[in-house]
């Protein structure tokens, strides 16, 4: 009888009629018939148009990829709580035909990780890669800690971070009561949170303590104001290198160390600074020290020309 069956039919017979026995216990393979559905669907996708030269890659569209993932997931779930250990190496690898930035990859990783963890909770996985404790005790209440989840995001996504969390997490963890604790060093994230829901941590001499937040503003606060707060930046809100360069310029001007070579170098640096308050203050200091306002006048003329051009374009 078996010799008359096709390979697929023989494999189906094997799944339906065999298993593993250990004393009085038995493990039947029939519960893994979802594998046949997965194999059938993948085989249906293979044709001259989709198969690549190496016979190991097929090209499929988004809807087909989603169906493969669903069937593959159902096959994996059929092993939950059973006898066998599992190999973390996936059966399939999906490679979208787009190049993503590191920030985009971080965004995808965050929410796919949350989805995977939520799915493991819902399907009764005991312990997954994200937790060393059993998930079986989780009923309805979940405390979710996201440690600097926005770390590699593009600034525009950092602005949307809290919004995305509020919109996507209720979908991912549908049916559960979720409380989220997030850590962040980014003012864009903080501006979406009321200060009553924010705890500022300060680190002094390797000791971390809760800081005074009584006079801090967060929800809807101006990003520049948040940046000025020492919680985000020490010693101002510009890069450490240019801050050091500016300090040297001020010292040299104050001490009169203005050789012709140094003067030219200082003027070049001032000319490159984009912050107008710093630019014109340094130019004013240099002009006063030299007794010559020609450089300051050139900067003012350039600024007037820039503003006129901007006015013309309005």
pLDDT in tens, 101-134: 777 788 888 888 888 888 888 877 766 666 666 7
- The angle at the Cα of 170, spanning 168 to 171, to the nearest 5 degrees, equals 65
Position 268 confidence tier, pLDDT thresholds 50, 70, 90: very high
Provide the pLDDT confidence category of residue 196 given band limits of 50, 70 and 90: confident
* pTM for the whole structure: 0.59
Distance CA 262, CA 284 (A): 16
Residue 252's pLDDT is 92
Torsion of CA 154, 159, 161, 163, to 10 degrees: -150
Q: Which residues contact 78 (CB under 8 A, 6 or more apart)?
A: 31, 32, 34
Task: Look up tokens 């509020």; give the residue.
Answer: 166
| Higher pLDDT pick, 36 / 76 | 36
User: Cβ–Cβ contacts within 10 Å for residue 149, how many?
Assistant: 23
Q: Look at residue 129 in the predicted model and tell me its pLDDT.
A: 65
Q: Is the pLDDT of residue 47 over 70?
A: yes
The Cα 224–Cα 213 span in angstroms is 18
Q: What is the pLDDT of residues 167-183, one digit of tens each?
A: 999 999 998 999 999 88
């Amino acid at each position: 009888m078996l010799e008359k069956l096709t390979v697929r039919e023989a494999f189906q017979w094997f799944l339906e009629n065999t298993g593993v026995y250990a004393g009085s216990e038995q493990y039947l393979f029939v519960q893994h018939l979802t594998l046949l559905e997965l194999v059938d669907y993948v085989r249906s996708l293979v044709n001259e148009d989709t198969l690549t030269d190496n016979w190991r890659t097929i090209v499929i569209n988004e809807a087909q990829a989603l169906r493969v993932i669903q069937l593959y997931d159902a096959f994996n779930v059929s092993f939950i709580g059973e006898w066998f250990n599992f190999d973390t190496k996936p059966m399939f690898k999906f490679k979208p035909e787009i190049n993503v930035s590191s920030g985009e990859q971080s965004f995808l990783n965050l929410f796919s990780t949350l989805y995977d963890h939520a799915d493991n909770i819902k399907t009764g996985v005991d312990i997954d890669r994200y937790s060393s404790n059993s998930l079986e005790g989780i009923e309805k209440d979940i405390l979710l800690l996201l440690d600097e989840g926005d770390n590699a995001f593009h600034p525009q996504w950092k602005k949307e971070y809290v919004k995305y969390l509020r919109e996507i997490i209720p979908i991912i963890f549908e049916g559960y009561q979720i409380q989220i604790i997030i850590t962040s060093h980014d003012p864009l994230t903080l501006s979406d949170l009321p200060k009553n829901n924010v705890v500022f941590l300060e680190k002094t001499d390797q000791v971390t303590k809760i800081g005074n937040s009584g006079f801090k503003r967060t929800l809807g606060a101006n990003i520049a104001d948040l940046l000025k707060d020492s919680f985000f930046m020490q010693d101002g809100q510009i890069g450490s290198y240019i801050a050091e360069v500016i300090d040297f310029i001020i010292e040299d001007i104050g001490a009169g160390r203005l050789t012709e070579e140094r003067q030219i170098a200082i003027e070049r640096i001032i000319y490159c600074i984009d912050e107008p308050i710093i630019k014109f203050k340094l130019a004013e200091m240099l002009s006063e020290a030299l007794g010559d306002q020609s450089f300051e006048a050139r900067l003012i003329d350039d600024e007037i020309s820039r503003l006129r051009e901007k006015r013309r374009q309005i």
